[in-house]
């Protein structure tokens, strides 16, 4: 089931990035090709308009009756294109108003090539593409030379200026082929890339999916145990309808303590859920470190003493702090509570608070059982020894909440081994962790 979800999601990623890549390449190719065509034909069109100006304004005109091409070549200094039996780059077809070709003689051999081109007055002053015999291509501009033109040979005639575009057409075709090959190569590369990306993108999703699943499973499991105990106690009491409350005080006390446990658990779950949805609102205040830490830590001294454990704290912090006092209080309680839970009679718990650069450093050094999985203990519901911890009342959420609080205050939390035994839990938080 999980594998199916994984695979179908990965396929979706794969297909979507593949389509995106293909689309991107197609658009890129189209844009590049269009730009290339525009630039390349712009030069031809520029030549056409240049020739038009020369024809309408030139005082010295070439003769259409002259079969000698040198007259045309002075006016049309374009190169001869060798490929495809191409004719002169620029050709002129001169028509009278009835569409009769007037310069057939001067065209010589080229007439065979251009014979299929007729006068079409609808295209007057418009640049058009023409295809001559033998597959030659042209861009052409039809003009009507005014009667008043000093260029008397063309005056009053229709002149079709033809620019041979065989070389441009070949260049565009070659470019198009190169472009298609390049795009295909890149598309194949993008298939591999999409596959790799889809696999990589799946990893964090899978991780959080698994975390979520485990979280729900563990939470349900943790909630079920106290609920079962309460249910059993209630059912037992129902079998003794005539008993007095005093007779069943043990069952009632157990039920109440399990209810307290349920309450704690749901509160913890709520804190974590809020942190997941980023709805934890900080209420920071300016704090006097001496009174703040003393008020929290002092009551623990009595608890430690009652368990025959040594408890000391030393606070060297003088500068004012700025943080959410409720959250930091909860953080400290979680850490000291753990130290008390995981130490035995005769062990010691030492607390050091000091300034370190622009941060305040809080260390709890205990001589208890020590922590083996120093990173995993911050995972939700993680407990090193489940059986022992059930007795201590833990649910494996304390350090997860502690790390959320530290993160809220832009600090860090880490664990070290204490010598010869036990652990050191450190937190480091900026002096002004939140902007006032």
Q: Which stretch binds ligand ADP (CB under 6 A): 40-48, 90-98, 101-109, 392-400?
A: 392-400
- Which residue, 212, 210, 214, is CA-closest to 6? 210
Total Cβ atoms within 10 A of residue 45: 14
Smallest separation (angstroms) from ligand ADP to the CB of 22: 49
User: Can residue 321 be called a binding residue for ligand ADP (CB under 6 A)?
Assistant: no
> Between residues 324 and 366, which has the closer beta carbon with respect to ligand ADP?
366
> Between residues 72 and 362, which has the closer beta carbon with respect to ligand ADP?
362
Q: Which of the 8 DSSP states describes residue 228?
A: H
> Between residues 160 and 331, which has the closer beta carbon with respect to ligand ADP?
331
Smallest separation (angstroms) from ligand ADP to the CB of 366: 5
Q: For 116-215, list the strands marked E by DSSP.
A: 127-131, 137-144, 158-164
Q: Which stretch binds ligand ADP (CB under 6 A): 70-78, 81-89, 217-225, 388-396?
A: 388-396
CA distance 301 to 299: 5
Total Cβ atoms within 10 A of residue 390: 12
> Between residues 26 and 273, which has the closer beta carbon with respect to ligand ADP?
273
User: Can residue 394 be called a binding residue for ligand ADP (CB under 6 A)?
Assistant: yes
Question: Binding string to ligand ADP for residues 350 to 379, with x set by CB under 6 A, is what?
Answer: ----------------x-xxxx-----x--
The token pair at 320 is 């004012």
Looking from the CA of 252 toward its CB, the CA atoms found within 13 Å total: 7
3-state secondary structure of 71: helix
Smallest separation (angstroms) from ligand ADP to the CB of 27: 53
Exactly one of 293, 313, 342, 360 binds ligand ADP (CB under 6 A); that residue is 342
Exactly one of 265, 382, 428, 431 binds ligand ADP (CB under 6 A); that residue is 382
User: Can residue 226 be called a binding residue for ligand ADP (CB under 6 A)?
Assistant: no
User: Can residue 261 be called a binding residue for ligand ADP (CB under 6 A)?
Assistant: no
Exactly one of 396, 406, 408, 418 binds ligand ADP (CB under 6 A); that residue is 396
The token pair at 328 is 């930091």
Q: How many positions of this chain bind ligand ADP (CB under 6 A)?
A: 23
Q: How far is CA 104 from CA 59, 91, 109, 111, 144, in A?
A: 23, 12, 10, 6, 18
User: Can residue 338 be called a binding residue for ligand ADP (CB under 6 A)?
Assistant: yes
The token pair at 435 is 């902007």
> Between residues 2 and 373, which has the closer beta carbon with respect to ligand ADP?
373
Exactly one of 423, 426, 429, 433 binds ligand ADP (CB under 6 A); that residue is 423
Exactly one of 399, 413, 427, 429 binds ligand ADP (CB under 6 A); that residue is 399
CA distance 114 to 87: 10
For 21, left (φ over 0), alpha (ψ -120 to 50), or beta?
A: alpha
Place of tokens 């290339």: 36
User: Can residue 389 be called a binding residue for ligand ADP (CB under 6 A)?
Assistant: yes
Place of tokens 């409350």: 245
> Between residues 84 and 257, which has the closer beta carbon with respect to ligand ADP?
257
Smallest separation (angstroms) from ligand ADP to the CB of 230: 20
- 147-166: burial string, b at 16+ Cβ within 10 Å, e else: eebebebbeebbbbbbbbbb
User: Can residue 383 be called a binding residue for ligand ADP (CB under 6 A)?
Assistant: yes
User: Can residue 169 be called a binding residue for ligand ADP (CB under 6 A)?
Assistant: no
Q: Which stretch binds ligand ADP (CB under 6 A): 54-62, 92-100, 142-150, 337-345?
A: 337-345
Query: What does the radius of gyration of the chain's CA atoms come to, in whole angstroms?
Result: 45
> Between residues 132 and 351, which has the closer beta carbon with respect to ligand ADP?
351
CA distance 134 to 87: 11
> Between residues 229 and 377, which has the closer beta carbon with respect to ligand ADP?
377
The reply to whether omega before 420 is within 30° of 0 (cis) is yes
Q: Which of the 8 DSSP states describes residue 96?
A: -
Interface residues with ligand ADP (CB under 6 A) are 338-339, 341-342, 366, 368-371, 377, 382-385, 389, 394-400, 423
């Amino acid at each position: 089931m999980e594998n199916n979800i994984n695979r179908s999601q990965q396929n979706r990623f794969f297909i979507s990035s593949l389509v995106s890549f293909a689309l991107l390449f197609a658009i890129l190719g189209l844009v590049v090709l269009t730009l290339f065509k525009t630039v390349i034909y712009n030069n031809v069109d520029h030549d056409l308009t240049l020739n038009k100006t020369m024809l309408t304004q030139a005082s010295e005109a070439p003769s259409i009756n002259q079969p000698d091409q040198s007259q045309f070549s002075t006016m049309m200094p374009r190169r001869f294109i060798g490929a495809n039996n191409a004719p002169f780059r620029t050709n002129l077809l001169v028509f009278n108003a009835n569409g009769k070709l007037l310069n057939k003689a001067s065209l010589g051999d080229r007439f065979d090539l251009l014979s299929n081109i007729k006068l079409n007055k609808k295209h007057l002053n418009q640049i058009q593409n023409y295809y001559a015999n033998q597959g030659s291509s042209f861009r052409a501009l039809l003009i009507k030379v005014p009667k008043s033109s000093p260029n008397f040979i063309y005056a009053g005639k229709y002149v079709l200026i033809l620019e041979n575009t065989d070389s441009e057409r070949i260049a565009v075709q070659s470019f198009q082929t190169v472009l298609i090959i390049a795009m295909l190569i890149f598309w194949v590369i993008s298939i591999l890339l999409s596959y790799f990306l889809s696999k990589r993108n799946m990893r964090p999703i899978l991780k959080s999916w698994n975390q979520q699943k485990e979280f729900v499973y563990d939470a349900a499991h943790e909630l079920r145990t106290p609920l079962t105990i309460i249910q059993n106690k209630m059912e037992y009491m129902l079998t003794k309808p005539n008993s007095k409350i005093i007779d069943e005080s043990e069952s009632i006390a157990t039920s109440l303590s399990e209810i307290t446990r349920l309450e704690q658990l749901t509160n913890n779950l709520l804190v974590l859920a809020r942190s997941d949805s980023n709805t934890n609102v900080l209420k920071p205040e300016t704090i006097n470190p001496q009174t703040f830490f003393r008020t929290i830590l002092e009551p623990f001294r009595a608890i430690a003493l009652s368990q025959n454990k040594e408890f000391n704290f030393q606070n060297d912090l003088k500068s004012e702090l700025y943080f959410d006092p409720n959250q930091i209080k909860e953080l400290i309680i979680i850490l000291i509570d753990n130290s008390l839970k995981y130490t035995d009679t005769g062990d010691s718990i030492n607390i050091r608070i000091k300034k370190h650069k622009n941060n305040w450093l809080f260390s709890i050094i205990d001589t208890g059982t020590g922590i083996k999985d120093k990173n995993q203990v911050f995972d939700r519901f993680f407990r090193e020894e489940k059986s022992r911890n059930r007795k201590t009342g833990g649910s494996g959420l304390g350090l997860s909440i502690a790390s959320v609080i530290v993160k809220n205050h832009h600090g860090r939390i880490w664990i070290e081994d204490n010598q010869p035994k036990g652990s050191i839990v450190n937190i480091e938080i900026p002096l002004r962790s939140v902007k006032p």
